[in-house]
Chain A
Amino acid sequence: MLELLATRYAYVVFIVLLSVGLYMVIASQNLVKKVIGVNLFQTAIFLFFVAAAYVEGGSAPVVPKDPAGPTGLLVSPLPHVIVLTAIVVGVALTAVGLALIIRIYTEYGTLREDVLREVRADD
Chain B
Amino acid sequence: MIEGVPALLVVVPILAATLPLFLGVRYDRAGWSIGALTTTALFALALWLAVGVYTGGTVIHQLGGFPRPIGIELVADRLSALVVVLVAGISAGVLAYTRRGGPRGNSFYSAYLLLVGGLLGLSLTGDVFNMFVFLEITGLTTYALIAKGNSGESAVAALKYLIIGTVGASLYLIGVGFLFLATGTLNMIDLATAIPAAEGGYANPLVLAAFAFVFVGFAIKVALFPLHTWQPDAYQRAPDGVTPMISALVSTVSAYALFRLLYTVFTVEFLVATPYVTEIVVAFGSVSVLAGTTLAVIQTEIKRTLAYSSVSQFGLVVLAYGLANETALIGAIVHLLGHAIMKGGLFLAFGVVAAKTGARTVDEYAGLADRAPVAAGTFAVLGLALVGVPPSIGFVGKWFIAVGAVEAGIWPVAGVVFLSTMLTLAYVARLLEKMYFTPSPARGAYTPESPLATDGGGDDTADPAPNAVSAGMLGVAVLAALLAVALGFAGGVFQSMLGPFVEVVLNG
Question: In this assembly, does A82 line the interface, its C-beta being within 8 Å of a C-beta of chain B?
Answer: yes
Does residue A13 face the partner (Cβ distance < 8 Å to B)? no
* Count of chain B residues with a beta carbon within 8 Å of a chain A beta carbon: 28
- Determine whether the beta carbon of A104 is less than 8 Å from that of B155: yes
Contacting residues, chain B, for A31 (C-beta < 8 A): 159
What is the CA–CA distance of A16 and B416 in the complex, to the nearest angstrom? 40
Q: Is B174 on the interface with A (CB-CB < 8 A)?
A: yes
B167:A41 contact, CB within 8 angstroms: yes
Please determine whether A89 and B136 come into contact, CB atoms closer than 8 angstroms: yes
Contacts of B176 in A (CB 8 A): 82
Contacts of A25 in B (CB 8 A): 163, 167
| Interchain CA distance A78-B70 in the complex, whole Å | 10
Which chain B positions have C-beta within 8 A of A96? 140, 143-144, 162
Mask: chain B, 160-181; 1 = CB below 8 Å from A; 0 = not = 0011001100100110110011
The answer to whether A107 touches B181, judged by C-beta atoms less than 8 angstroms apart, is no
Docked complex Cα distance between A85 and B180 (Å): 16
B180 engages A42 (CB within 8 Å): no
Residues of A with C-beta under 8 A to B159? 31, 97, 100-101, 104
Residues of A within 8 A of B174 (CB): 45, 48
A-chain residues with CB within 8 Å of residue B170 when the two chains form the complex: 41-42, 45
Cβ–Cβ contact A116 & B156, under 8 A: yes
* Whole-angstrom CA separation of A82 from B143 in the bound complex: 23
- Asked if A65 CB lies within 8 Å of chain B CBs, one says no
CA distance A101 to B159 in the complex (A): 7
Q: Chain B residue with minimal CB distance to A52?
A: B181
Q: Does A74 count as interface, using CB distance less than 8 angstroms?
A: no
A76 to B158, CA, bound (A): 38
- Distance to closest chain A CB from B492 (angstroms): 43
Question: With the chains together, A35 CA to B158 CA distance in Å?
Answer: 13
Q: State whether the Cβ of A22 lies closer than 8 Å to any Cβ in chain B.
A: yes
A63: Cβ under 8 A from any B Cβ: no
What total count of A-B pairs have CB within 8 Å? 73
B141 — nearest CB in chain A belongs to which residue?
A96
Structural contact, A97 and B163, CB atoms closer than 8 A:
yes
Is B140 within 8 A of A103, CB to CB?
A: no
CA distance A85 to B177 in the complex (A): 14
Within 8 A of B (CB), among A53-112: 76, 78-79, 82, 85-86, 89, 92-93, 96-97, 100-101, 103-104, 107-108
Instruction: Report how far A96 CA is from B107 CA in the complex, Å.
Output: 14
Expressed in whole angstroms, the Cα–Cα distance for A87 and B441 within the complex equals 55
Count, chain A residues at interface, CB 8 A: 31
Instruction: Check B177–A52 contact: CB distance below 8 A.
Output: yes
Cβ proximity bits B111-155 to A, threshold 8 Å, 1 near / 0 not: 000000000000000000100110010001001100100011101
- Bound complex: CA of A101 vs CA of B163, how far in Å? 12
Report Cα–Cα, A22/B159, bound state, in Å.
Answer: 16
- With a cutoff of 8 Å between Cβ atoms, the chain A residues found around residue B186 in the complex are 78
- Considering the chains assembled together, what is the distance between the CA atoms of A85 and B176 in angstroms? 14
Within 8 A of A (CB), among B208-233: none
For A38, what are the chain B residues with a Cβ–Cβ distance below 8 Å?
163, 166-167
Q: How far is the CB of A16 from chain B (nearest CB, A)?
A: 14
Q: How far is the CA of A86 from the CA of B129 in the complex (A)?
A: 10
**B166 contacts A42, CB within 8 Å?**
yes
Task: Please state if B156 and A120 are interface contacts (CB–CB under 8 Å).
Answer: yes
Distance in Å: Cβ of A32 to nearest Cβ of chain B? 11
Q: Is the CB of B166 within 8 A of A49?
A: no
Q: Is B177 a contact partner of A48 (Cβ separation < 8 A)? A: yes
CA–CA, A92 and B186, complex, Å:
24
> Are A45 and B156 touching (Cβ within 8 A)?
no
A1 and B167 alpha carbons, distance in the complex (Å): 29
Q: How far is the CA of A45 from the CA of B181 in the complex (A)?
A: 14
Q: Given A38-B167, A100-B162, A92 and B140 touching (CB < 8 A)?
A: yes
Contact partner of A104 (CB less than 8 A), chosen from B144, B156, B163, B184, is B156
A49 and B178 CA atoms in complex are apart in Å by: 9
Give the interface of A toward B (CB within 8 A). Answer: 22, 25, 31, 34-35, 38, 41-42, 45, 48-49, 52, 76, 78-79, 82, 85-86, 89, 92-93, 96-97, 100-101, 103-104, 107-108, 116, 120
A-B pairs with beta carbons under 8 Å apart, 13 shown: A25-B167, A35-B163, A42-B166, A52-B177, A52-B180, A82-B177, A86-B132, A86-B173, A93-B166, A96-B140, A96-B143, A100-B147, A120-B156
* Besides A41-B166, A45-B173, A92-B140, 8 other A-B contacts (C-beta < 8 A): A25-B167, A45-B177, A82-B129, A96-B140, A100-B158, A103-B147, A104-B155, A108-B152
